Amino acid sequence: MSDWDKLGISPINDKEYIFKALKESVHELNFEDDLPQAFQYLKTYHSLIKKVERTTAELNKLAEGKAENEDNVILYLDSDRIYDTPTALIARFKEVYENPAIRFNKLVWKSAIANAVQHSTQSLSFYCMPIIKFLSSHYILKSDVLTELIKAFPFHEEFMSSAWREVTLLKYPELGAVEVLLTSGHSEIEIYIEVLKDAPLTLAEKDIVIRYLIEADEHVKKRTYQQAFKSLATRIPDNKRVPVVWHKMVNIAFMAAYRYHQENAKEIFFNTLNYALEFYPEDAHLLYMKVLGGYEEAQDYQIVKSSIIEAIKICPSYQKLYYLLGKTYLQLKQYSQALDVFRTLQKMDALNGEYIVYTAVSFRHFITNQLQDGSIKKDKTYYLNIIHQMIDQHLFEEINELQLETTTDNDIQALLIFSTAYEQYILTGQKDFTALEQVLTLTEDAKIIFRAFENYLENMLTWEEIASREGMIRRFYNGFPESDVATYHMGKYFHAIHDFKMAYDYYLKALEINPDNLDVYFSISQACESLKYYDLAVKYIAVYMQYSRYHISPVKIMAFCSFQVEEYYQSYTNYKWLFSLVNPSEITTNQLLFCVSALYNYIKFDKAIEGDSHYKRTFVKDELENFESYKKPDGFYEDAEGHDTLYWLAMLCKHVELDEEGLEYVRQIETLGSLPAEWIIKDITEYKLHCMRSLGLHQELIDWLEDDVEEEIQTEINDTELALKSFYIAFAYEGLDNIEKEFEWKLKTAFYYASMDDAESKEAHRLEWLESFTVNIVNRFESIFEREKTIEAGKAYFKIQKEPHFRHAMVAHYMAVAYEALNDKENSLKYHQICVDYNQLFPGYFEDLAEISQLIIEN
Amino acid sequence: MKYYKYENPDGLNRHQLWLLATSGMLSQKNRERHDVLLPEKEGNIQALKGSSQRALKRDYGINNLSDLADTLKYFDEIVTLKAFQNRWEFSSPAEFTAFTKVNAKDKSIPNVVDMVHKYQFNLPESDQAWHYGRCSWLIRHACYSGFINETEAWQLLEENAARIRQIFNSWESFGISYLAGAQYWKRKEYTAAAISSYKLDLNFLLTNKNSPWVQLAWDDYNN
């Protein structure tokens, strides 16, 4: 039987018609006996309404799509006019605003705006103030129109200007509301436009109604409820009060009467309500408020009940009426009826906390009643049903009270045995497998069998245990192949025997049956991790973690798998979260390594923070402090992963130029109990040199290296690390202002680099380095007027740089100047000539120096 | 799901048990005892205390007594769902329906407005149970973690309970308010699954004989 048949109508796209059918169906019911039937009708009604709304939504979407495609066509709406001045545009705005057919049509406004933008000969800022003034009295517009205005005109500049703050707003304070309108929007206007869309009012009347509704809202915000009520009661004539106005008035009066206990409010409430009902006698909300008022006043709940039922028969789709009915049943101690109502309402709306609470309250009372009433024991089906419900709610003591003294019925026996076993499990965590197996042999009742299997197999602690239960798992699945729980357990069996692909397939099937089974999300992510489907693992565990963030294993999966799919920030934050959840002694070296690596990769490669060196530095500095608070596991400093962790910490510091912190990690690596890998040693040596230089630890560097390097540099060849150390020693002496030593080591370094084998592809790089280094030496001593050293450095330069180069001109010039200072005019002139010659060979680099050299030669 | 039998091993009077019952939702969520001051469970006490301290630090930033005092004050003053109720409580059904079509920048706002619609007129206490219920639980754990002693814990529980008594008139109203608070907290994931664990806990508290809310009448506060 289709939903249409259930309400006795043919398929129709008319919500009103469907509602009438519901009303007729419900009208004849006796609510004491037919409550379930009433809810059936209601359920059918909602299903049909959803169908109608889907169809309408699809049709609307098609229409919108068409309209958007006609965007360009619409822009030609104003093709016969030009709005090249604010006056012309405002005139058009007024025209559109006063036309009810087009005021709320975004495309009409867009067309006029586009026309103005296209034809205006002035700056668009000239349009701002006229539009602002227009909006101060013509503000009932939809937000999409306001958006078009904001996109086209520079209101932001206007509002940011000092003229706006210091002059305009003082003179015209009402324009402040327009600023709010344009910058923040006004959702209430949008809502009222939508609410009054089909109201039987002229456009002008709608504007008035909206205006006073907003005024009432303003009073409500200020908690001046009397004024809010008056805004509507005195300003809008009775015959123009559409339902939304009456609803607002009644709501305000109700709250004033029953929540804020204001004097005379009750009288106003009932008078307003009764008057409103004269205009709208079948308005659902008004009828609901009437019975709600009755409920609040209730002396006799039987009368209240009758009035609610009467209201339901007029408005059978208004859910809140059923809720009140349920509460009234509770007051009348009709717990079975109350339970039916609240359970049904819960199914209709699982998000309403009141339904959840009152279902529980009703159930508690219902069970207490049942315990006093012996009649349930006579009806087996009813008895079993109650026991099932009590097992669901863990009311084991009550089940014991309800137990039949003797019974030969296998189903009842089985269920009671199950109840005892389940209670033991709930309280102690221990399963009574014997009892559960007994249940399975005793009964053929599917529901009891299902429960026994479910409990038998739930929360098995180890994979070995799961694997050992293969027989039971298969029996469960064979008996209930359409059950997500049984399918899930099949998945767990295959998971336990490491057939991860089969496990994945079963888990997926379980999710298809029931996408709300959270346990499956966890298990399927585990299977995905084992199968290296890391992206899927992340996807599934993310769902699980939405509802359970404190469970450690899922966090581990998220952290690790996010790393594998290069979601480094997500990986890092999840490792941090993991460390906050576990006992500090449970943190492993491997986890620390991944955590640091994730942070490193995030900082180095994440495009979202590319170029933001300040953020990176600050972030890493804070995170390092955090990291130091984690307890290092035993063996961390001996473990290769521990070494790697310290290495990546050092590299992280290097990347964001935290040299002090970086050097500290380098020192930790150096003092490790066991030797780290060679590549680590090489990298950290270079970094250590850099840190010591940048931190000004010159003497420490010299003490560390000089003796060994002095010796090795005589004998070792092609040792780039040695060359680098020599380089840093030289600069360390520069840092200590020891000119002699500085000069000595700089020359030593230059000659050592010069002697290195160029066979490898690094030749070009080396030469470039060498050139700039040797020039640096010349510059350095020239700048501190160390003439002899300048000359010696220059000689070294020419000895090393045998190939002609543009820098020769500069070096020669400085040597010439140095010779002149030492009164060696012959050599001075010689080198000035060399400068001129190389400048001719390589013009454009040192023209000024060559000019000076030429002048000196000529003089 | 596991729970403890309600046995009152320390012989507390009904008033004291009532004070503890105000932490019912969080205690039940964490599977703790409802009938003793310290939220003990089975297992290694040292490890449990460590876990308690970590939870206080991680989830509430509580490391000491001063932090606890700040947090209790914060929960006493914070306004969450109430701000939306003040704005939308007086709306007509048509306004609530129209709101769903308004394009809110924050996608959780329509969810909160829907909550206001659902609980319209019936939740004058707003979600204050969510704040005060957590305060009770924090006080018990602060005592467990050693930030305060038992005397101080009872004192703070009394002060917290006095506020609860001013606002609520039944365990049902307390429970609804707590659930509304949980929904508001999880407003971005406004689904039945998001509150399923709270639903289970509420069911236990309102139906099971081992629940403090079934064992104790609301007016046992006066005993």
A229-A230-A231-A237 Cα dihedral, nearest 10 degrees? 110
Portion 18-77 of B in contact with A at CB < 8 A: 47, 50-51, 54, 57-58
**pLDDT score at A66:** 56
pLDDT digits (tens, 9 = 90+) for A674-685: 667 777 788 888
Q: Does B6 touch chain A (CB under 8 A)?
A: no
Q: Please, what sign has the CA dihedral across residues A143, A144, A145, A150?
A: positive
Mean per-residue pLDDT, A779-808: 86
Mean per-residue pLDDT, A277-288: 95
Distance CA A575, CA A579 (A): 6
Angle of helix A410-428 versus helix A380-392 axis, rounded to 10? 10
Buried b (16+ CB within 10 A) or exposed e, A36-65: eebbebbebbbebeeebeeeeeeeeeeeee
Which chain B residue has the Cα nearest residue A196? B94
pLDDT of residue A624 exceeding 70, the answer is: yes
Pick the range with the lowest mean pLDDT from A12-16, A209-213, A350-354.
A12-16
- Considering only residues A8 and B140, tell me which one the structure prediction assigns the higher pLDDT: B140
Buried b (16+ CB within 10 A) or exposed e, A413-446: bbbbbbbbbbbebeeeeebbeebbebbbebbebe
pLDDT digits (tens, 9 = 90+) for A256-282: 999 999 889 999 999 999 999 999 999
Closest CA to B157 of B142, B177, B135: B135
Distance CA A501, CA A481 (A): 19
Give the one of B2, B51, B192 whose C-beta lies nearest to A351's C-beta: B192
Q: Which residues of B touch A349 (CB under 8 A)?
A: 118
pLDDT digits (tens, 9 = 90+) for A122-170: 888 899 999 999 999 999 999 889 999 999 999 988 888 888 888 888 8
Q: How far is B155 from chain A (nearest CA, A)?
A: 30
**pLDDT score at A232:** 94
Q: Which residues of A touch B84 (CB under 8 A)?
A: none
Helix/strand/coil percentages in chain A, nearest 5: 75, 0, 25
Cβ-proximal residues to A662 (8 Å cutoff; 6+ apart), any chain: A650, A652, A653, A654, A687, A691
Q: Does B112 touch chain A (CB under 8 A)?
A: no
Contact A624, A661 (CB under 8 A): yes
**pLDDT score at A761:** 44
Q: Does B107 touch chain A (CB under 8 A)?
A: no
Give the one of A364, A429, A547 whose C-beta lies nearest to B194's C-beta: A547
Distance CA A196, CA A211 (A): 12
- Considering only residues A64 and A140, tell me which one the structure prediction assigns the higher pLDDT: A140
Band of residue A638 on the pLDDT scale cut at 50, 70, 90: confident
Cβ contact (<8 Å) for A143 and B86?
A: no
Band of residue A797 on the pLDDT scale cut at 50, 70, 90: confident
pLDDT of residue A639 exceeding 50, the answer is: yes
**pLDDT score at A765:** 60
Contact A239, A213 (CB under 8 A): no
Mean per-residue pLDDT, A226-235: 94
**pLDDT score at A55:** 65
For chain A, give the percent of residues with pLDDT over 90.
Answer: 59
Cβ-proximal residues to B156 (8 Å cutoff; 6+ apart), any chain: B72, B139, B148
pLDDT of residue A560 exceeding 70, the answer is: yes
Taking the CA of residue A359 as centre, how many other CA atoms within 13 Å lie in the half-sphere pointing to its CB?
22
Kindly report the three-state secondary structure assignment for every residue of A53-67: HHHHHHHHHHHHHHH
Portion 228-287 of A in contact with B at CB < 8 A: 228, 243-244, 247-248, 251-252, 254-255, 258-259, 284-285
Q: Does A427 touch chain B (CB under 8 A)?
A: yes
Give the one of B93, B172, B207 whose C-beta lies nearest to A393's C-beta: B207
Which chain A residue has the Cα nearest residue B100? A191
Pick the range with the lowest mean pLDDT from A194-203, A391-400, A760-769, B146-155.
A760-769
Give, in words, the CATH class of A706-858.
Answer: mainly alpha
Give the angle subtended at the CA of A307 by the CAs of A304 and A311, to the nearest 5°. Answer: 135
For chain B, how far is it from start to end, CA to CA, in angstroms?
31
pLDDT of residue A827 exceeding 90, the answer is: yes
- Considering only residues A180 and A354, tell me which one the structure prediction assigns the higher pLDDT: A354
pLDDT of residue A766 exceeding 70, the answer is: no
pLDDT of residue A59 exceeding 70, the answer is: no
Q: How far is B96 from chain A (nearest CA, A)?
A: 9
**pLDDT score at B46:** 83
**pLDDT score at A479:** 95
Band of residue A73 on the pLDDT scale cut at 50, 70, 90: very low
Give, in words, the CATH class of A476-667.
Answer: mainly alpha
Other CB atoms within 10 A of residue A242 CB: 21
Q: Does A547 touch chain B (CB under 8 A)?
A: yes
pLDDT digits (tens, 9 = 90+) for A601-622: 999 999 888 888 899 999 999 9
Residue ranges per domain, chain A?
A: 3-68, 71-185, 476-667, 706-858
Mean pLDDT of chain B: 93
Instruction: Give the DSSP H/E element, type plus range, for residue A842.
Output: none
Other CB atoms within 10 A of residue A33 CB: 9
Cα A525 from chain centroid? 20
Other CB atoms within 10 A of residue B210 CB: 20
pLDDT of residue A70 exceeding 60, the answer is: no
Mean per-residue pLDDT, A304-326: 95
DSSP H helices, A83-174, are 86-97, 106-119, 125-137, 143-152, 155-160, 162-163, 169-171
Q: What is the largest CA-CA distance in chain A?
A: 133
Mean per-residue pLDDT, A93-119: 89
Q: Which residues of A touch B115 (CB under 8 A)?
A: 351
Q: Does B195 touch chain A (CB under 8 A)?
A: yes
Portion 292-321 of A in contact with B at CB < 8 A: 292
pLDDT digits (tens, 9 = 90+) for A675-722: 677 777 888 888 999 999 999 999 999 999 999 999 998 888 778 888
Mean pLDDT of chain A: 89
Q: How far is B208 from chain A (nearest CA, A)?
A: 6
pLDDT digits (tens, 9 = 90+) for B37-89: 998 766 778 888 888 999 999 999 999 999 999 999 999 999 999 999 998 99
How many residues are recorded in chain B?
223
